[in-house]
Amino acid sequence: MNPDPVMTLDLRTPEGQAYAQNLQRRNAPELGPSSRVLVVDTTDALSEHHVYFERLARLPQVTGVVLVAVGGIDPTGDGPTLRTPSALAGVGVTLWVGDGPGVPWEGGSQRPGAGRGESTVDDLLAALRFPKVFDRVFADVGVMPHQAANPGLAVDYATVEPGMMRALKLRALRQLVATGVAARLHDRESTELTSVVRSATEGDATSVRQGSPLHEAMATAQRELQAAARSIERWRSWRGLFGLTKAHRVVLDRLSAAGDALLRHHRVARRALEDVDSSLGEGYPPPSELVEQGLPTPAPVNSEEMAESVRKAVTTELIGGRTLPGIAEQARRLGNQLGAARSLAVTEQDSAADLETWARGLISPPPVKVWPAPVAHLLPVMVLTCLLGTALPGLGAWPLLLMIPLWTGLIALLSVNSPVDIDLGLIYGAMAFASAVGAAIGLRYPAGFSFETLVSAGILVLLVSVSVVSSYLAWRSVVDRWRDAIPLRKAVNANKRLSEQVSRTIEQRWSPADRVRRLADSLLVVAGGVDAVVEVFTDVIEHVKDSDSEHTFGGDRSAGLAEVLHHDLVAITLEVLRPSFDAIASRMPLSGDSHRSLLRAQELVADYNDHLEHSGLRELPAFVTDEGPRRRLAATLWQSSASSRRILQLTERSRMTQLCAAEDVRLLQADGARLVHFASADMDLPPIDGGSDEVIRTKGDAVGALRLTPILARYVQREVHAQGEAQ
């Protein structure tokens, strides 16, 4: 027998008598009875069972015994009066219950009403199994004559129909394991698990280590490319125009150094990216070697935090209405994606393939070209300046002695870095032709107005300035065209993309590598556990009778019941997954033991069915912690019960079922009656006017009033047995 808070010993049954025999022959600690014992016996067997009562009273752990004696008593003296066991004196009290169904009675001097009472001895025993009700009855009857009383009872229950519960439970099971079209209404994929994956794949460090080979190669490439860009910008100025080949050599040296640095950066970075793939996929090279190359140490794994995040995500998904197959499929898919994710070094390898070509282009840049553009653009300026110079009044052909050498020198400066080829001859030929044409026109058509010689000289100086400035602008165009011809900008962008690729690989693959691997294994373990629950739930559905699925219910009561059942099935799922969450929280390697989950799911389903059968839906199962759905269901049930509020208003003089025959009411002493009110803990108590000042709260689904009426002393006899009889 279970050591419940109130242990029931029914001596009317062979099992109860066998247990009592064990109390006589065996040590009490082996049987472990509770401190409160509810004994049920018949009135004519009390004397015969006195030895059981004596043995029970001697047990040190027993602090109270309530004896319910069922049967008739004869007030005439010809038959037995109520003989209470003397062995229970001081440790037990007696409630006498008649053989019949009980009669409606208001107490006092009123005569019993017609008809049969509504409450039975089974209702009385159910109330006495509540520890607080047991203690109150024990205390109140203990101060009555001979510690004996006759109970009256009014009780109401807030219960649900068994057929409704079976049908709604089947519906909840089908919704949880639904697939395909049936799952569309309940299986809208949310972002809970995706958020867990996103959090796990965020690295803590995205930069390479200072002073490492990778960092040095990256920094050197960036520095040399910036220096090459600055040298071209300086070469593009007046200093570049008048710097001849020396300035150009500085630029070429800078470009060559930038190309070499870019090649080294590319080589070191590609090796690191490929080693990341190899290390994550095959375990070689070891992480320490990649750290030496310049990658940061992978971020640590907080197993407890990960387990809690996965548990919360799964719980939120289930409570939100997701189906179990949907959760298992998503968890398995995310786990496989994390485990088989490819490195960015592979996916972006083609886009970085041209980087080496661009670096070679910096080391061996194309020659500087000044023909046809921009020298061809200077020919009109040459013609115009020579024409205007020779047309100035008072100077004659003397300006040609200035303009031709000037343009020859300017063209020489522009083409000093160009290769000696046919283009160079074309440049000087074009210059000579343009100068000659301009001079001939100027001499043939001199200006028709006269200037002071000083003014003409000033205009000639202006023409020289125009020639120099035009040549400078042409020089800048030469440098710009050459800069566009070399792949410097492409090399800078490629170097930037390579650095960003390394940073992304560190952030998305390397830094969270340990977390991602742990999360992938965790999601696969959870998927296996959920699959085991689906298998067990499906098996339950297949063994349900067809008649249980034919009911259709509506209203607040069915909605509240459906919520409780769904919540309980979710709790079963989470309890099956609890060992998996504990394993994730540990730092031990994970292995999906779906067979263990299957056995646990079968055990929990069996326990849950047993709980529903013996304790009822209103009692919280051991694996459920949230009482919210049951409280909401209880509120709905109690709101629909008007009799429960009436029962709490009853007094000692109210009508209720007295558990005796109508003719036995005269054996009771109505003036000394006591009243005990009790109600379920989830019931909102209404204001009580005239009823009991204190209501005992219980875990059951009943509300009741128990009236304890003393029995007249002359009808009760304490039966004393000799010591030898009791042995």
**Residue 64 shares a structural domain with residue 126:** yes
- Cβ atoms of 65 and 39 closer than 8 Å: yes
Residues 6 or more apart whose Cβ sits within 8 Å of residue 222: 495, 499
Based on the fold, state whether residues 554 and 625 are members of the same structural domain.
yes
Q: Are residues 629 and 660 part of one domain?
A: no
- In a shared domain, residues 519 and 603: yes
What is the structure's pLDDT at 344?
43
Q: How far is CA 621 from the centre of its chain?
A: 24
SS3 552: coil
- Residue 65 · residue 57 · CB < 8 Å: yes
* pLDDT category of residue 706 using cuts at 50, 70 and 90: very high
Q: 241: which 2 tokens?
A: 């125009």
Question: Which residues contact residue 588 at a Cβ distance below 8 angstroms, ignoring those fewer than 6 apart?
Answer: none
Q: Is residue 465 part of a domain?
A: yes
Q: Which residues contact 323 (CB under 8 A, 6 or more apart)?
A: 175, 176, 177, 178, 179, 183, 186, 187
Check residue 50 and give its pLDDT: 87
Q: Residue 709 pLDDT > 80, yes or no?
A: yes
Quickly state the pLDDT bin for 535 (edges 50, 70, 90). Answer: very high
Burial 65-99 (b: 16+ CB within 10 A, else e): bbbbbbbbbebeeeebbbbbbbbbeebbbbbbbbe
Domain residue limits at 150: 6-155+648-726
Q: What is the reported pLDDT for 140?
A: 94
**Has residue 193 got a pLDDT over 90?**
no
Which tokens hold the place of 268?
């070191």
* pLDDT value of position 317: 87
Residue 513's Cβ-side half-sphere holds a number of Cα atoms within 13 Å equal to 23
Reported as a single tens digit per residue, the pLDDT across 342-354 is: 444 444 554 455 7
Selection from 46, 16, 495, 629 nearest residue 226 by Cα? 495
pLDDT over 60 (residue 469):
yes
> Using the 8-state DSSP alphabet, how is residue 706 labeled?
E
Distance between CA atoms of 212 and 204, rounded to whole angstroms? 19
In this structure, is residue 310 part of a structural domain? Answer: no
Q: Domain boundary residue among 586, 616, 636?
A: 636
Statement to judge: residues 439 and 535 lie in one domain: no
Q: Over 130-145, what HEC string results?
A: CHHHHHHHHHHHHCCH
Q: Give the phi and the psi of residue 138 in degrees, each rounded to 5.
A: -60, -40
Instruction: Please calculate the CA angle 370-372-373 and round it to the nearest 5 degrees.
Output: 65
Domain membership of residue 490 (yes or no) is no
Q: Are residues 11 and 137 in the same domain?
A: yes
Q: 436 and 397, same structural domain?
A: yes
How long a stretch of residues is the chain? 727
* Domain assignment of residue 281, yes or no: yes
Averaged pLDDT, 681-691? 61
Q: Does the pLDDT at position 194 exceed 90?
A: no
pTM of the shown model: 0.61
Distance CA 526, CA 641 (A): 44
617-655 pLDDT, tens digit per residue, is 777 788 888 776 777 776 676 665 667 778 888 888 889
Q: Is residue 307 part of a domain?
A: no
Query: Is 492 within the bounds of a domain?
Result: no
**Pair (583, 624) in one structural domain:** yes
**What region does 450 belong to: left with phi over 0, alpha with psi -120 to 50, or beta?**
beta
416 and 333 in one domain?
no
Tokens of 547: 């008649």
In which band, very low, low, confident or very high, does the pLDDT at 148 lie, cut at 50, 70 and 90? very high
pLDDT at 325 over 60: yes
Q: Which of 365-379, 516-530, 612-626 has the lowest mean pLDDT?
A: 365-379
Asked if 501 and 358 sit in the same domain, the reply is yes
Mean pLDDT value of segment 313-326 = 87
- Kindly give, in sequence order, each residue whose CB lies less than 8 Å from that of residue 606, ignoring residues fewer than 6 positions away: none
Q: Are residues 432 and 481 in the same domain?
A: yes
- Which DSSP helix (H) or strand (E) runs through 9? strand 6-10
Q: What is the pLDDT of residue 550?
A: 47
Q: Is residue 435 part of a domain?
A: yes
Q: Per residue in 408-421, is it b (16+ CB within 10 Å) or e — as a string? A: eebbebbbbbbeee
In-domain check, residue 53: yes
For range 270-294, the mean pLDDT: 80
Q: Are residues 333 and 353 located together in one domain of the fold?
A: yes
| Bridge partner list, 104 | 657
Q: From residue 249, how far is each of 231, 260, 421 by CA, in Å?
A: 10, 17, 20
Domain count for the chain, please give it.
Answer: 4
